[in-house]
Structure 1
Amino acid sequence: MSTVILNALSIFIVLALAMLLKQFRLVRSKDGLMTSKLVVYITLPATIIIGVNHSQLSATFFILMVMGLFSNLALIFIGKLLSSRRPAEEQALYMFNLSGFNIGNFSIPFVSSFFPVAIPFLAMFDMGNSLMVTGGSQALIEGLSGRKKSGFIPREVAGVLLRNPPFVAYIIMFLLALFGLALPDSWLTPLKPLSQANTLLSIFTIGLFMDFRLPDGKLGLILKTLASRYTAALVLSLLVYFLIPFPHLVKQVLLLIFFCPCPSFTCSRLRPLAMTRL
């Protein structure tokens, strides 16, 4: 128990340090663009490769992949129901905020500090999740909210996914596991320092991007959308924990996923909505 508390404390210290350094202007929010690139292109793929290597596929992995896809769909439609009487921009805000899970920048760094053996389960869920947050959710939400622009273009979504190093790492390791193969441990030795830096850089990046300034007069809307997201997360968590016969470790992973923040893809798409309504 003391180890868990110390690990959680270390993560909080890194987050607070990034915010403190930003407050004293030793670093700036835009520096997070550089650290996030280091995470996406270097440390996170290294963490995935090391964490997933030697994994043996089972029915649980495929179920998690499907859950990653359909949990996003379910949350989008819940957001639509909750905001059906609101303007189109607010409907999109609700649906974007309720769906999507920031697994790469939050869940994987958190899990790797506590129980790295669970990373393969996160990876399989994120494969389904990635299909939505890289374009599937945007196309669906634009249609449901009446803000349809280009529709769902599979080639564009595939292009985004294949330019995403963590997703490419997922695919490579999934194919190796599918054929019962694994990379030699000696090959992974140069990746270990990079993997060990992932938690530090990921949490530090979150701290750089955190901003507590709120738009004037929109605090109520923000609180409602956050309350809706975490209420939905609580419902999903209860369903998984009490109704689905997963191993206890898998249930812990899913509970962490459901309560993690929005993905960076979602945040970037919410900015134009914030400009128009918030």
Structure 2
Amino acid sequence: MLIVLLQSLQFLLVIMVAYLFKKIRIFKATDGIVLQKIILNLTLPATIVVGFNAVTVEPILFIMISLGLVSNLGLVLIGGYVWRKKDAPNQSLMMFSQAGYNIGNFTIPFVQGFFPAAIPYIGSFDMGNALMIFGGTPMVVDKMTQQRRSNNHLFRTFLNLFRSPSFTTYIIMFSLALVGIVLPENVLSIFRLFSSGNAFLAMFMVGLYLDIRIDANALKKVLVLLFTRYALGIGLALVFYFFLPLPDIVRMSLVLLALAPIGTVATINIIAYESERSLASFLASASIMVSLVLMTLALVFIL
């Protein structure tokens, strides 16, 4: 338990240091774009390689992919129902704020230091998560709100997924595992070198993007959105942990995933569907801080 608390405090320290450096103008918020490119194209794929190497492909990995799809679909539908009487932009805001998990830039770095053995399960879940946030969720939002903002269809959505280095890495490592190919240690050591910086860079990027400026009316809306998301998330985490007949490490992974913050792509979609950029930025920042607390508490109670 002490290790978990210390690790979480270290993450919080990195976030606060990055935020402080931004406030005193050593860094700018736009510097986070550079870090994001490094993470998405280098350190995160390396972490996935290390985590997936020598994994045995079992039916449980396909179950995790399915859970990533189904949980996203269920939450976006619930979000649409909760604000069904609102106008289209507000209903879209609720739907995007409920579905989509920040796994690559937050959840994987969070578990990387605690349970590297959980990365294949979390990564498999992220494959289903990616299918929804990159195309499935906007299509559902368009259908429920009677808009036509998303031009994606299933085939185009699938092709767009391969623009994501992390998703491509998932597929490559999954394919290698299927045929029983294991990377030798001298090759893996190179990937470990790059993956070792992933958690720090991800938390530092979070700090640079952290935004706590918002007006009172928007704050009330954000509080409702976050309360709905985490009430549903905690309920989902309880179902995952107490009712699914899966190994302990898988159920623990699912609990952390259910409490993960709003995905970056979901935040982009919130802005694209006519919500204010300041609201979306504050919502994403607040979600990260709430998730850090809840995921830490979950580990404290589970371990």
| Residue 28 of structure 2 corresponds to residue 28 of structure 1 | yes
Q: Distance in 2 between matches of 1:277 and 1:121?
A: 34
- Cα offset for 1:44? 0.0
- Cα offset for 1:220? 1.6
- Cα offset for 1:218? 2.0
- Count of aligned positions: 278
Name the structure 1 match of 2:101: 101
- Cα offset for 1:150? 4.1
| Residue 57 of structure 2 corresponds to residue 57 of structure 1 | yes
Name the structure 2 match of 1:85: 85
Name the structure 1 match of 2:114: 114
Name the structure 1 match of 2:158: 158
Q: In the TM superposition, what are the counterparts of 1:108-187 in structure 2 within 5 Å?
A: 108-187=108-187
Structure 1 gaps, min length 5: none
Question: What is the Cα-based RMSD across aligned positions, in Å?
Answer: 1.5
Q: Deviations over 1:25-81 (max 9, x none)?
A: 110111100000000000000000011100001121111110000100000110011
Structure 2 gaps, min length 5: 280-303
2:90–2:275 Cα contact (<8 Å) kept: no
Name the structure 1 match of 2:213: 213
> TM-score with structure 2 length normalisation?
0.88
Q: Distance in 2 between matches of 1:180 and 1:36?
A: 32
Q: Distance in 2 between matches of 1:129 and 1:29?
A: 27
- Cα offset for 1:3? 2.1
Q: Distance in 2 between matches of 1:268 and 1:23?
A: 24
Q: Distance in 2 between matches of 1:139 and 1:216?
A: 32
| Residue 256 of structure 2 corresponds to residue 253 of structure 1 | no
SS at match of 2:86: coil
> TM-score with structure 1 length normalisation?
0.96
| Residue 7 of structure 2 corresponds to residue 7 of structure 1 | yes
Name the structure 1 match of 2:68: 68
- Aligned residues: percent identity? 36
Name the structure 2 match of 1:274: 275
Q: Distance in 1 between matches of 2:55 and 2:258?
A: 23
Q: Distance in 2 between matches of 1:222 and 1:94?
A: 10
- Cα offset for 1:268? 1.1
2:36–2:205 Cα contact (<8 Å) kept: yes
Q: Distance in 2 between matches of 1:241 and 1:205?
A: 31
**Cα gap change, 1:150 to 1:104, in 2 (>3 Å):** closer
The residue type equivalent to 1:100 in the other structure is G
**Cα gap change, 1:186 to 1:96, in 2 (>3 Å):** same
